[in-house]
Amino acid sequence: MSNSYRWVIVGAGALMTCVALGAMFSLAIFQGPIATDTGWSHVGIASAMTLNFIVMGIGGFMWGAASDRFGPRVVVLIGSALLGLALVLASRAGTLLQFQLTYGILVGLAASTFFAPMIAATTAWFDTNRSLAVSLVSAGMGVAPMTISPIARWLISAYDWRTAMLIIGVSAWALLVPAALLVRKPAVVHDEGEPGIAIENGRPALAQVFRSPQFIVLGLTFFACCAAHSGPIFHMVSYATICGVAPMAAVSIYSVEGLAGLGGRLLYGGLADRIGVKPVIVAGLLVQAVALAAYLFVSQLGEFYLLAVIFGSAYGGVMPLYAVLAREYFGPRIIGTVFGAATMLSSLGMAFGPLMGGWIFDTLANYSWLFIGSAMVGLGAAAVALAFPALPSERGRQAVVAQG
């Protein structure tokens, strides 16, 4: 198969992550209309998003392992069918519990079929420009709030929330199923892996992988990185409002962060291909930590925008690079499983930040310690990232293959 087909994989992956994550996060757009129409509580509706994060963390590990065993196309086809079904069922939900089960669990389970498996598939296609390719697939997540959410808002205004969600579900089938059929494995997969990892039945031993220094450092860094930025991202609009920024302008800060994240993925991905993944991750984590601390000293909208560009590009640029390190350390055979497990840890970090931010504000009536604590966690993530072992040499990789 032509080597140029690898960019088809990138395009399909970006589309799938955009549609899947966009559909999931559009709950913020649906929440008000659903509550008005049904009388369900905002807390009850929003709890579906909490379920999404929990299920996505567990599902990412499960689907990543399934993609290693059965191939990514089967997994993303299942996810494409399940996502459309979940949205259609959620649009017909007659009770809050039915909505929570369909939107909270089924949508989360479906959305988790795309990220880790498609990132893993992309790394298998690229020996050069790998960081950039992974960043482009991940960019679909950044595009989602600027595409699916406005479409959802327009559909709700034109019809009602049930019709809007039904249309999005049917559209998900129409877009995702053809994209999933484009997914292929590369004709030649280079057998790479970390020297010292035992081979069992032609595959690296997972128990040894998850105890290895490489995975421990990867998982801890990914967790701390997400724990550092998730709280400030979630509470940014509220913090800006408290600082005197008008509510609508405060919302725009979040949009600027998302746009900056797109640019950051391209910038950091390109730099990682040129100078290496480890130094770019460490630098990005340091930039993130400094930006978080700097939020303590801003109060004007222009200052918030400036920091949003720096902060958004840092966390957006760093996030996809963990998959590249996983591929370099453990090779293509188990990349879905390894990155799925790392993604599960990152989801726990993402869940931790908003909760701590809410507790800090309820206790102290301000967000100062949220940004101080987040900056400290961010510095800790950078310190842990310094412990990443050197990437395996080609000679070491060949030795692993010979052992197998």
Whether 172 and 236 map to the same domain: the answer is no
Domain total for the chain? Answer: 2
CA-to-CA distance for 268 and 304, rounded, in angstroms? Answer: 22
User: At residue 200, what are phi and psi to the nearest 5 degrees?
Assistant: -125, 125
User: Residues near 329 by Cβ (< 8 Å), separated by ≥ 6?
Assistant: 193, 194, 214, 215, 218, 338, 389, 391, 392
**End-to-end Cα distance, the chain:** 27
For residue 140, give the CATH number of its domain. Answer: 1.20.1250.20
Q: Examine residue 24 and state whether it is found in any structural domain, yes or no.
A: yes
CA-to-CA distance for 336 and 42, rounded, in angstroms? Answer: 36
Whether 233 and 115 map to the same domain: the answer is no
Task: Look at residue 394 in the predicted model and tell me its pLDDT.
Answer: 39
- The DSSP secondary structure of 3-61, one letter per residue, reads GGGHHHHHHHHHHHHHHHHHHHHTHHHHHHHHHHHH---HHHHHHHHHHHHHHHHHHHH
CA-to-CA distance for 77 and 114, rounded, in angstroms? Answer: 9
Q: What are the 10-residue block averages of pLDDT along the chain, 404 residues in total?
A: 81 92 82 88 79 85 88 94 96 94 92 88 85 84 75 89 96 95 77 51 71 92 92 82 82 79 87 90 96 93 93 91 87 84 86 78 87 95 91 47 41
Task: Look at residue 369 in the predicted model and tell me its pLDDT.
Answer: 93
Whether 116 and 13 map to the same domain: the answer is yes
| Model-wide pTM > 0.85 | no
Whether 243 and 391 map to the same domain: the answer is yes
Q: Examine residue 34 and state whether it is found in any structural domain, yes or no.
A: yes
**Please, are residues 103 and 86 in contact by the beta-carbon 8 Å criterion?**
yes
Whether 164 and 285 map to the same domain: the answer is no
Q: Examine residue 239 and state whether it is found in any structural domain, yes or no.
A: yes
Determine the structural domain holding residue 396 and report its residue range: 199-403
Buried/exposed code over 93-107 (b: 16+ C-beta within 10 A; e: otherwise): beebeebbbbbbbbb
Whether 214 and 172 map to the same domain: the answer is no
**Please, are residues 282 and 386 in contact by the beta-carbon 8 Å criterion?**
yes
Helix intervals (H) in 100-212: 108-111, 115-125, 130-158, 161-181, 206-211
Q: Examine residue 188 and state whether it is found in any structural domain, yes or no.
A: no
